[in-house]
Every structure is written in structure tokens, then in C-alpha cells.
Structure 1
Amino acid sequence: MKFRQKYLRRAFVGLIAFVSLIGFSFSRPGERLFDIAKNLDLYASVFKELNKFYVDDVNPNLAVKTSIDALLKSFDPYTVYYPEDELEDFMTMTTGKYQGIGIVLAEINDEYRVAYVDENSPASKAGLGIGDQLISVNGIKISDTPEAEPSKLLKGQAGTSLDISILKIDESTTKTIHLKRETVQINNVIYSGIIRPGVGYISLEEFNASATKELKTALTTLRQAGMQKLILDLRENPGGLLTQAVDICNLFLAKETKIVETRGKVEEWNKTYTALNTSFDSDIPLIILINGHSASAAEIVAGVMQDYDRAVLIGKKSYGKGLVQVTRDLPYRTKMKITTAKYYIPSGRCIQAIDYQHKNSEGQAIAYKDSSIKTFKTQNGRTVVDGGGILPDILIGKDLMSSSFTQALMKQYMIFLYACHYQKNHPKIASAESFVFSENDMNDFQNWLKNQKFTYESPVEKQVRIAIDLAKKDQAYAGLETSMSALKSEWSSSTTKELLAHKQEIISLIEQEIILHYYLQKGVNQWSFSKDPVILESLNLFNQPQKFQEILAKKNK
């Protein structure tokens, strides 16, 4: 108890010292300093009372972590606190490296299944496949471990051994596999290749510390293979390190070209980043693909290339994250990632979509109003706008899982589990490029789904159910209950109707999931070259060089 009281006193003294350091930066230091000191005193008092009198033991680490998370959440979702036990995950995000066997697990119906396998990882070499069920690690049953622990059991120092018990999709008995952990590199470039004569394609999934190096290696290999044009795919890329975005822009822009500027409250965060090196290729015809999940560093690359009329952007409007974070060290081996600035690309625009400074009546951040959106000009005089992501030059593509029904299928792992079922009954399939999920296969999926614990309520069904419940409680509407119940019965076959309504969307998702099970991510990319409408539009544009140049040269009004 003495240690706990001493610890609380030290923590409180530290907080007051913190106040004394930051208080003078406010416009009214005396008043603001008093408010901070008062509220920290209140917080310490509340914690002290809880610790002393609450009926159950108070976990100080959990309590403080919860309060810090709630505090930071009130600012924006990117300002985050990392306690000591989460630093490993933080470093993995930054460096793209971790020590383990190279798989991602998913908890499905109280079972842990392999949801992803890194190519060339210890797991891949040992024959682990997507869909395999993990039973135990070094004799510890997965069913006996707390949530999130299975992944921790698989990690450990490179070179150490572990035995895992698994149940393969196509087998009825478990088997034990002996593995050695390695340093696993999470690749930024998940695919690169020549997809049509002279046309290179690179899919960049992240912007961790090795992104530029990987991309340059891929570019060099493709150039040697005859690449004359390039499609750079940044769809689903959530971003990463700002410095990597700058260096990747430099690959396609001349030395000393201005790339991005950051502006914050503190002078030291106001910086201008320029291209420091000779470009890899400042002339190659370039198409960049983006969508609603392209964010942050991915938007910097896409936006900078658009501002300099260096690339044609194809796809859907990007996410709209124009905020910059830096990492600060805190006591006791903890860290904090804090939003310190906004970034501005060469035209002068910031593409931040959400205004976190102003909240609505429910305390939620809101999108910037259309009236606040400003127009800017690219180098060739094309009109572009700020305040809501990067708008591509050619708008095309439909988001997969656009319907609530498809989202329900994915959220309840129905597509994944059906792919496991399919793989169990089909030892081999056609190549990734030629695989087709047939009409008979779709009928099989529909029959299989009937026997699963799949639940779905459409938005209309939900409203009808609510109306029926209200009618039951109000005698004035009692007569309507029968009519509305009859209306509800019309949706008894809603799953069948939804399957028909979103058939092509579902087939596309199933095809990709099945191919992922057999050929991993490389296979999914190969499948997309003849099926993905955005890639097909890009190839079509490359076949029209005059139109390509007109898009970049025209001055829209």
C-alpha cells in the first residue's frame, strides 16, 4: 500500500511539473495553468478515492490507460498513447518488422484460424495455409488462453523454436509442426510485374521504413524487364511515414522539387520537404490508383503527383487525412503519438476531410462544409480542391462490400468460411488468372449459407420490426400490428433476394478469397489484371497516349 501511495504521489508531482512546463505557451498562462492544475488535482483525488474505497481492487494501469485513451479520443483518432506492453506492435507498424512465424490469426466461432500467411515466412515454408485451425502452441491449448494471447504465443526472439498443433482444412486429425521464429519483414510492395507489354504494375500496401527501398528495387527490376509505363496502386494503403512519402515522390520528381509542407502550432513542426536526390525516372508515363481507403502518406504521393501534373489519378476519392503525427517518449518506457501539424501539398491545399476541432451536438467531429472548400491550381493550371481527400482525374470503381448485406457476410466470416469449405472439396483449382466461380458454385454457396449461423436484418426490416414493437405497446395502433407482421413475412426470403441483388459483388469477393487460400496475395493480384475495372481502365488509357496527355495538360475552368 505504501508503494502504491508513493507511486501516486510521484505521478501527481510529475503531472504538476508537466503543467509548469506547458502552461506558459497559452495566451493566458495564469488562468489556463490554474484550470489545468485544478482538474489534475480533481483527477488525482478521484483516483485516490477509488483506490481506497471501491469494493473491488482497482488496477491502476488499466484505469489510467482507460482515462488517457478517453482523453485522447476527444481530440482525434490519430493521437494515441502506447503503454509499455504495446510498444512491440508500435515498432512493427513503424519498421515493418517483427519476430515470429509470419501469420495473422482470426477468431471465428471460438476457433483461431490462419487468416493470412506471409510468403517466404517460416509458416509458409512449413506448409501452413489460410483456413488452418490453430489448436495449441508449445502444448498450451489456444482455447485456454485469454483473447489476443494466441498471437503473442507465436511471437518471440528470432532463432527460438516452437511446436504448434494445427488442424488442416483437408484433414480430420491434428498434426504438430516444428518451427523456428525469424525476423519477418512486412513488405510494402506486395506485387510487382509486367502485366501487359511495356506496362509495369506495382502494388504498394504501406509506407513503413523500407517502402522507398522496396519500391526502387521493384522499379529497377521492371525497367530491366522492359517497362515503359507504370501503374502504381495505392488503393487500400493507409499511409505511414511522412519521410517515406517524400522519398517516393522524389523517385518521380527532379531534385530540389518542393514536395510537401507541414504547419503546426509549434515552430519546430513547420517544415518544407524537398526532393533531395536525383529522380529514378521523371518522365515515365505514370498512373496512380486510389480509393476511399488511400490515406495519409498515400494521399501525399497521389496529391503531389497530381499537383505537378506528373501522373493521372484513377479510382475513387481518397480518405482525406491531412494531419501529421510525431512520436514522443514518455516515462516508464511508454510513448505517445500526437498530431502536431497539417500537411500542405505543392498547390497549397490541405486535404483533411474531418474537422476535429469542431463537434456536433453529439460530440462527433464533422466534415468540413462545402462553403469552406477552396480551389487551387496544378502546375498546368488544372483546378483542384482541398478539404476532403484527393479527387482522381478519372472517377471509376465501386467499393466492394458497398451493400449492408455484403458487409454482414464479411463481418460474420461467411466468405472466408465458404472458401475453407470450397478448398476442402477442391484439392486443386485453375490458375489465378483463369479461375472462375461458376453459376453452380454460386448455387452451392447459397445452399451452404442456409446451414450456417448467418443473421441479417436489412435497414427496411429493422424499421418494420421497430414499428411492430411500437404498435404492440400503443393501443391506438394495435390494428396495424397484423398488417405490419404480414409485411414482415414478405422478407422471410430476404437472404435469397439479397444474394440475387448483389450477386456479382459477392462472386467477386468469393473468387478473391478462394484464390487467396490457394495462391496467397500474389494470386489475387494476378486475378485482378483481367477482372479489376480500375486496372482495365488504366490499361485502356495507356493505349490512348493523346488522351493521357490531354488529361494532364488541359486547364479546366
Structure 2
Amino acid sequence: MTRKNISIVLVILTLGLLFSFAAKNDKLFKIAKNLDIFASLVRELDSYYVDEIDADELVPVGINAMLNELDPYTEFIPEENSDDFRLLTTGEYAGIGALIGNRVGSNMILMPYKGFPAQVGGLRIGDKILKVDTVMATNLPTSEISKLLKGPANTSVFVQVKRGDDTISVDLMRKKIVISNVPYYGKLDENTGYIKLSDFTTNAGSDVRKALVDLKSQGITRLVLDVRDNPGGILNEAVDIVNLFIPKGKEVVRTIGKLQSANVTYKTTKAPLDKDIPLVVLINERSASAAEIVAGALQDYDRAVLVGRKTFGKGLVQTTVPLSYNAQVKVTTAKYYIPSGRCIQAIDYSREKRDENGNSNSIPDSLRREFKTKNGRIVLDGAGIEPDEAVGSKSYAPITYSLVGRDLIFEYGNKFFLENKEIGNPRSFVVSDVVYNDFVKWLEGKEYDYTTYVEKSLDDLEKYAKREKYFDEIKGTIEDLRKKVSHNKEQDLITFQGEIREALREELVSRYYFQEGVIEASLVDDSEIKAAMGILSNPAKMSGILTASAK
């Protein structure tokens, strides 16, 4: 290379570095400028605004408005919310171990967790909270009561509740509460194990491993892993769970982001617990994030058959970054890609892809790409994980929604519990005719009216007919149809008693067997469970699904 050429190359490199430096400096200047404007604005508002302002309240509103322009997973966590955030990510807190909420206008215990202070101390579902320590709690927001019940481990808290006509007072010792990621596991039949995985907080992998080891010691030879309604959580826990079923050294997920530090490949690091056990994974539209990694990776390796409905479609990774004054920001830093190479993110949040109203849109089917599993089965990106065996969602009659939504089934559960000391085990317990008739009689005089879908459609038809001047011509027809489809609450209690009994059954079981019992009771009439059992009991069908020829 000549001296002249060398000089030209050096000039080009120098200019490139200068432009890069200038671009970086320009970006830093824009950030500094806007931060200065924001700080100046808050100072001037504090000086000139007609009323007093509270910066601790106003500034977070501005921060959250800014983050709303990004995606729903990037969020600001002020110091006062750090405990709640820690609970979401670790499943740990110190308190009495009970879910509380407001039902029928009262703050009450909705679910005491088995083995923790609230349940051991005798608190039950439906107990109305009157007082916590010296604070009257009847008119407090649920969030305030929750804060009062929490506190340092091994400290005492006084709780007074009303149960029926009785007022009950208990002194409870707060304990460190660790909520298991596996609220229930057991056997569906002599050969089939079942594990309900509800979260991916700390120790999710360990919780599933312990459950599987126990089930194998009971002689199971096939397994159903249920991640329906699982919102996800810690990515490493998802990797550990996949590792239970596939060999060491296999890729489970890759994360790719703007920063080099965000680009990570996660592989299995241990020998699997069982790489051959026939496996079905249950999924639905509320299975998200880490739950999708587990289901998707097992599908990509043709290691499990997925049963249910298409998952949520969250393929974004969040990292928690510390800020000043103990605040934090949970920020989206990468997308994840499962072994076939697909990203299952269903919504494109990039600003350039939004519509004229600023709304983010789902990725259109025309832009979804094909990938292949280990056996050559075609899978698609861009819209969650699709099941290998689809099972439609269960629908309920309007009367059932009304009875549940108006808390009437919940209230009857309180009444039943006060009158009955025990019931059969969760799987064998049924709502007898005597119990159901008592429920129907108890409903007399209570408000649970509702509009059926057909009645709503007729109302819409009448409205549009009047708007478009057709009503006089079809008025008689509409009136005849309305008479024919007009619902009768008493008749609906007979017509739809099957699903009403099912809702009653789960509510009553919860009073005696808590969360584990509710899950176990729900398995009896579960359509996805039935589909899973049909596949697991037919090896030829399962093999056919997991091979490319099945597509």
C-alpha cells in the first residue's frame, strides 16, 4: 500500500471516529438537555403553581407516562413498592400467609395458605377483618390492611375477625412466607403424575424436581405438567425445568438485545431427571414468558406434546436496574429465542410500527415465519406457542357468571362451612341434590338477574332497526322472539345446574382443603386433562404427533 493510500485510509478512519464521537456526544447532549428541562419544569411548578405540589407524587406520574410510550413490561418501581416487587420475583415475604380481598363490601380472608400462621391460627375463608393490632380495618383499603399484616418475621400481630355471628380474636406470629411454585401435585391415575406449576419465582426448578422425584417414587410412568395461567418469571428457573427432561448441554433459550451483555445463550447444565418419560404440557392464553419458554423448548425438541390453547406471546426479557434513592426500573433489554430459532413475541411495540392512534399491533399472520422442530415439524414465530392438540375454552351460561360475579356462590360457601364440619375428599366430594336444593332455596329473594347473550342481541337488533327505520316492519317478529327466548331464572337453575354445581363444588372444597383442594377438585371435569390422558394412553398417537409425518 502506498503512502498516499495509507494517508487516505487514516483520514477516513479519523473522520469515522469523529462522526461516531459526535453522534454519541449528540445523543448524550439530548439526554442531558431533556433531563435539565424536566428538572427545571418541576422547580418552576413548585414555585409558581397556584396550589402546593408534591414532587414525590407528581414526578412518578411523569416517569410512568414516559414509560407507557415503550412497552407494558418496562416499569418504574419506587422504594415504597420494593417489597411488593420482591414478592413477585422471589415469592417470599414476612406476614401471616393469607390472601385478602374485598367481597360483598367487606375486607376478608380469601385464602389462608396451608401450614402458615393464618391457617394454623384458625383463620378461614370468609372471615371479615375487623381489626389489625389497634387499627380498625373495616373501612380501610385492602392494600393498607395487607401492609398492616406484613412485618418483620417473628413479630406478633393481633387480628380480629367476624365469622357468622361470632367475633374471633387471634394473636399470630409473623413468619417468613415462601409461596411454593407448585401448589399441587399428585396422581391422575395409577400411572400418570400431575404437576401444577403456577409461577417461576425463586426455586421453581427445585419445586418441580421435588414433585417429580416424589411422583416417580410412587410409580408413575407418564406425566402431565400444567403451566396454564402461569404468568412466567425468572428465566433461569425455566431453563432448570426444561433440564429435567432433556440432556445436558442443550440450548434452551437465547436472549438478544442492544447491548452485548444482553446476548446470552442458556443451556442445560445437568443430567436430566428423566429424558424418556412420556410428557404432556398444558398451556392456555394466560401462559406467558417463562411458561412459554418451557413449553416452546420442549415442543422444539419434540420432547412433549402441548395440549390446550395458544399462549400469550411474551418474548421479551426484562432486567431490573437500580436507580437513586433505592428506586428501580424494570426495563426490557432483549428478546428471547427458543431452540428452533423462533421468537414468540406477539405484539410489536416499536414506535415506527404503531397505527395512527399510537396503538401497538399484533404481528400479522403474513409476516410470521416458519421454523422446524428437531423432528422437522413446522412451527411459527410471532404469536405465542401453538398447541399440538387444541382444546377449546369452556364457556358458561350467564346465570353462572351472575352467581359467581355477585359473590352469591362465595357467600353460600361461608354459610355451608359454618353448618358443616367436614366434607369428602376433593375428588370424591359432589354437590348432592340436598345441598343444591338448599342453595336454590337460599337464593330466594336475592338479586342475581342478568341478560342472556340472545336477549342482548335482540336489544341491539331493536336499537339498529330503529336507527335505520326498519323497526315498524319487524316489531312483531322481535316481540315474538323476545317472548320465546326470555330467560327464566328458576328454569335456568335447573337447565344449567351442572356447571353451577361445579362452581359450588370448587367453592365448598376451598373451605376445607384450601388452594391444593381447589386444584385437585378442578381436575375431575377438566377437558384438557381428559385430552392429555387420551394422548398419554395411546403411544402411537403420541408418537405420530411428535414426528414430522404428523403435520
SS at match of 1:332: helix
Distance 1:544 1:122, change over 3 A: same
| Residue pair 2:94, 2:176 contacting (<8 A) in 1 also | yes
Amino acid at match of 1:265: K
The residue number in structure 1 matching 2:15 is none
Paired amino acid for 2:149: L
Q: How does 1:299-448 map to 2 (within 5 A)?
A: 299-357=292-350, 358-399=353-394, 409-438=403-432, 445=439, 448=442
- Aligned partners of 1:295 and 1:318 also within 8 Å: yes
Q: 1:275 to 1:142 in 2, by over 3 A?
A: same
- Determine if the alignment matches structure 1 residue 550 to structure 2 residue 536: no
**Relative to structure 1, is the Cα distance of residues 471 and 550 closer, same or farther in structure 2, using a 3 angstrom cutoff?**
closer
* Cα displacement (A) at 1:464: 7.5
Q: Report how far residue 310 of structure 1 moved.
A: 0.4
Shift of 1:195: 2.4
TM-score by length of 1: 0.85
Change (3 A) 1:329 1:162: same
Q: Which residue of 1 aligns with 2:535?
A: 541
Q: 2:97 is matched with which residue? A: 102
Distance in 2 of aligned mates of 1:150 and 1:262: 40
Distance 2:22 2:433 in 1: 68
Alignment-derived partner of residue 152 in structure 2: 157
User: Which residue of structure 2 lines up, in the alignment, with residue 9 of structure 1?
Assistant: none
Aligned partner (choices 510, 514, 532) of residue 516 of structure 1: 510
Amino acid at match of 1:542: L
1:72 to 55, 67, 76: 67
Match for 1:219: what amino acid?
Answer: L
Structure 1 residues 58 and 398: alpha-carbon distance in aligned structure 2, compared to 1, 3 A threshold: same
1:530 aligned partner, one-letter code: V
Residue identity opposite 1:133 in structure 2: K
Between 1:151-160 and 1:520-529, the stretch displaced more is: 520-529
SS in 1 for 2:516: helix
Find out whether 1:203 has 2:196 as its counterpart. Answer: yes
For residues 314 and 328 of structure 1, what CA distance do their matches in structure 2 show?
37
1:136 to 2:131 alignment: yes
**Does structure 1 residue 63 correspond to structure 2 residue 58?**
yes
CA contact (8 A) 1:131 1:420 kept: yes
Note if contact 1:383-1:556 (Cα within 8 Å) is conserved in structure 2.
no
SS of 1:189's partner is coil
- Partner Cα distance (1:184, 1:211) in 2: 15
**Which amino acid is 2:128 matched to?**
Q
Three-state SS of the structure 2 residue aligned to 1:530 is coil
How far is the alpha carbon of 1:225 from its aligned partner?
1.3
SS in 1 for 2:312: coil
Q: For the Cα contact (< 8 Å) 1:381–1:556, is it kept in 2?
A: no
Q: How big is the shift at 1:127? A: 1.5
Conserved 8 A contact 2:101-2:142: no
How many angstroms does 1:239 deviate by?
A: 0.7
Given that 1:26 and 1:32 are in contact with CA atoms closer than 8 Å, whether structure 2 keeps it comes out as no
1:265–1:503 CA distance, 2 compared to 1 (3 A): farther
Q: Tell me the residue number matched to 1:16.
A: none
Q: Secondary structure at the match of 2:166?
A: coil
Whole-Å separation in 2 of the counterparts to 1:375 and 1:255: 27
Whose radius of gyration is greater, 1 or 2?
Answer: 2
Aligned-residue offset at 1:542: 1.8
2:47 corresponds to which of 45, 52, 61: 52
Corresponding residue SS for 1:65:
helix
The answer to whether the 8 Å contact 2:462/2:471 transfers is no
User: 1:420: Cα distance to partner?
Assistant: 2.2
Q: Which of 196, 205, 212 matches 1:212?
A: 205
Residue number among 74, 78, 81 corresponding to 1:83 in the alignment: 78
Amino acid at match of 1:197: E
* 1:231 alignment partner, one of 219, 224, 236: 224
- Separation in 2 of the partners of 1:404 and 1:61? 45
**Secondary structure class of the residue paired with 2:345:** coil
Match in the other structure for 2:8: none
Q: 3-state SS of the aligned residue for 2:246?
A: coil
CA–CA distance in structure 2, aligned partners of residues 517 and 426 of structure 1:
10
1:308 and 1:27 map into 2 onto residues whose CA distance is: 47
Shift of 1:547: 1.4
Aligned-partner Cα distance in 1 for 2:191–2:207: 21
CA-based RMSD: 3.3
2:119 matched residue in structure 1: 124
SS of the residue corresponding to residue 428 of structure 2 reads coil
Among all aligned residue pairs of Structure 1 and Structure 2, give the percentage whose two residues are the same amino acid: 40
Q: Alpha-carbon deviation of 1:166?
A: 1.0
- Residues in 2 aligned to 1:370 and 1:501: alpha-carbon distance in whole angstroms: 41
Shift of 1:70: 2.0
1:502, distance to aligned residue in structure 2 (A): 6.1
Which residue does the alignment assign to 1:191? 184
Q: Deviations over 1:240-281 (max 9, x none)?
A: 100100111111111101111111111110111111111111
* Deviates most, 342-351 or 533-542: 533-542
Deviation at 1:226, TM superposition (A): 1.0
Separation in 2 of the partners of 1:104 and 1:361? Answer: 42
1:510/1:39 Cα in 2 relative to 1: closer, same or farther (>3 Å)? farther
Aligned partners of 1:47 and 1:479: how far apart in 2? Answer: 62
Task: State whether residues 96 and 210 of structure 1, in contact with CA within 8 Å, keep that contact through their aligned partners in structure 2.
Answer: no
CA contact (8 A) 1:468 1:484 kept: no
Superposed displacement of residue 198, structure 1: 2.1
1:270 is aligned to 2:241: no
Q: Does 1:294 align with 2:298?
A: no
Q: Report SS of the residue matched to 2:171.
A: strand
145-154 or 365-374, larger mean C-alpha shift: 145-154
The worse-fitting range, judged by mean Cα deviation, of 250-259 and 426-435 is 426-435
Matched, 1:245 2:238: yes
**Cα 1:493–1:546 shift into 2, 3 Å:** closer
Deviation at 1:460, TM superposition (A): 7.1
Q: 1:49 to 1:98 in 2, by over 3 A?
A: same
Structure 1 pair 496/276, CA: closer, same or farther in 2 (3 Å)? same
Q: 1:524 to 1:48 in 2, by over 3 A?
A: same
